[in-house]
Amino acid sequence: MDIRLTPEDLELQRRARTFTEQVLFPLELECEENDGLSPESFGSAKRAVLDAGFNAINHREENGGQGLDGFEQILIEEEWGKATGALWDIPWRPAIPLAAATPDQKERYLWPACRGERRDAYAITEEQAGSDPSMVRTTARRDGQGWVIDGTKWHVTSGDIADFFLVHAHVDGDPAKATVFLVDKDLPGVELVRTPKYSHTFVFEHPIFAFDGVRVGKDAVLGEVGSGYELTKDWFVEERIMIGARTMGAATRALDLSLAFAKERVQFGEPIVGFQAIEFMLADMAAQIMAAKSMLYRVGWQAARGGAARKEVHALASAVKLVCSETAGRVADAAVQIHGGRGYMREQPVERLWRELRVDRIWEGTSEIQRMVIGNELRKRGHEAFTGWPS
Ligand SMILES: Cc1cc2nc3c(=O)[nH]c(=O)nc-3n(C[C@H](O)[C@H](O)[C@H](O)COP(=O)(O)OP(=O)(O)OC[C@H]3O[C@@H](n4cnc5c(N)ncnc54)[C@H](O)[C@@H]3O)c2cc1C
C-alpha cells in the first residue's frame, strides 16, 4: 500500500497553500471587522482566483471547470479551509447538479458561473423543512408553456451575491415530484425577505427569499421533474466531503497556532507548553486530526480514484463529515483554551475558527442526520464500508 501523495498532488497543494496565505489571509481582519469585504477587496480576490486557475475546481473541463478529480479538490479545500471569515467561499464552485443542465442551460448558467460572471445559490431549506426536505412547501405548477413557483427559502448561502438560484420545489405540492428549478434572481416575484445575522462571520450572507408567483419557462427544470432528491443528494455528497476537507484545514491551523503560542507564552517562569495539561491538549489535537484526516483522504481517494459505488460514497461522505466536523470543533475549543484570554478575542484566528466551525455540525445535514445515513447503511449492507478496506 502506497499512501504517498503524487508530485502533481503536492504541487497542487503547494499552489493552494500559497493562494490561501497570499490572497485569503490578508483579508481576514477586514472581513471580521466589517462583516464582509469592500467591493474593491472582493474584486481583487476574484481576479486572484482566476489568475490562480481556482475557479470552478469541481467541474469538468468540457463544462467550463478545471477538470480536477475529487481528491485534488480535497487537497485544495483543505488549504482554503484554514482561512477564517469563510473566505474559502470566494473561489466559486458552481453547484455540482448544474452538470445535469441541458446544453442551453449550460450556456446560460454553468459556463458563465464557471467563469465567475454569474453566481448560484442553492435554496432547499424552509421554515418548516430542514432535516426533512420532504416537508418542503415550495410548489411549482404548470402554467401555459412554463411554471409558476411559490414558496419561501431560508438560509440561502451567498444569496446576496448570487444572481440565480437552484430552487428545490415540489411539483403540484407532491414530494414524489421534487424538482430543482433554475430561477433568475431578477425575475418578478423574487423578493428578499430579510438578511438575518448568524454566529459566524461569513464573507457573504444567508438571506431569506420569497418566491411569489415567479414565472419561469419550461426550460427552467434542471434534470427532470422528480429528480430533485437525486440532484440534491449529489450536492450533499460533494459538500459533505469538502466540509471534511475544510474543517481539517481549520483544525490544523488551530493546532499550528496553539503550538506556537504554547512555546512562546511564559507563565510561572516557563513556557506553558512545559505544563503537561497543555501538552496533553496539544497531543490530543494532533492525534485526533491525524485520525480524521486519514479517514478524509481514504474516502476522498476511494470516491475519486478507487471506483467506489455512488451509494457507498454517500454513506462514507456522512462518516467523513461527522468525524471531521466534530473533531475540528473539539480541536478549536482546545485551541481557545490554550490561548487563554487571547483565545476569546475576535482578532485572534483561533477565536474565529472556534466560532465558525460550529456550523459544520449543522449545515449540509446535522451530525444527527449523518448518523442516520450511517445507520441506514449498517442496516442495509452491514459495516464493511466503514470497517473494511478498499481492495
Ligand atoms: C449558516 C447556514 C447556512 C445554510 N445554508 C444553506 C443553503 O445555502 N441552502 C439550504 O438549503 N440550506 C442551508 N442551510 C440550512 C441547513 O442545511 C439546515 O439548517 C440543516 O439541514 C438543519 O435543518 P434545520 O435548521 O431546519 O433543523 P431541524 O431539522 O429542525 O433540526 C433541529 C434538531 O433536530 C435534530 N433532528 C432532526 N431530525 C432528526 C431525526 N430524525 N433524528 C434525530 N435528530 C433529528 C437535528 O439534528 C437538530 O439537532 C444553512 C444553515 C445555516 C445555519
Tens of pLDDT, residues 52-107: 999 999 999 999 999 999 999 999 999 999 999 999 999 999 999 999 999 999 99
pLDDT at residue 391, as a whole number: 84
Question: Ligand 1 centre and the CA of 149: distance in Å?
Answer: 23
pLDDT at residue 106, as a whole number: 98
Q: Indicate which atom in ligand 1 lies nearest the CA of residue 153.
A: 11
Cβ of 156 less than 6 Å from ligand 1: yes
pLDDT at residue 76, as a whole number: 98
Cβ of 131 less than 6 Å from ligand 1: yes
Question: What are the cell numbers at 135?
Answer: 416537508
pTM for the structure as a whole: 0.97
Exposed e or buried b per residue across 135-157, where buried means at least 16 C-beta atoms within 10 angstroms of its C-beta = ebebbbeeeeeebbbbbbbbbbb
Question: Ligand 1 centre and the CA of 198: distance in Å?
Answer: 14
Question: Ligand 1 centre and the CA of 130: distance in Å?
Answer: 5
Residue 366 CB burial class (10 angstroms; 0-12, 13-18, ≥19): middle
Question: Ligand 1 centre and the CA of 131: distance in Å?
Answer: 5
pLDDT at residue 1, as a whole number: 86
Measured CA distances, 350 to 84, 256, 288, 332, 345 (Å) = 9, 10, 17, 7, 9
Question: Ligand 1 centre and the CA of 101: distance in Å?
Answer: 27
The low-confidence residues of the chain, meaning pLDDT below 50, are none
Cβ of 325 less than 6 Å from ligand 1: no
Cβ of 368 less than 6 Å from ligand 1: yes
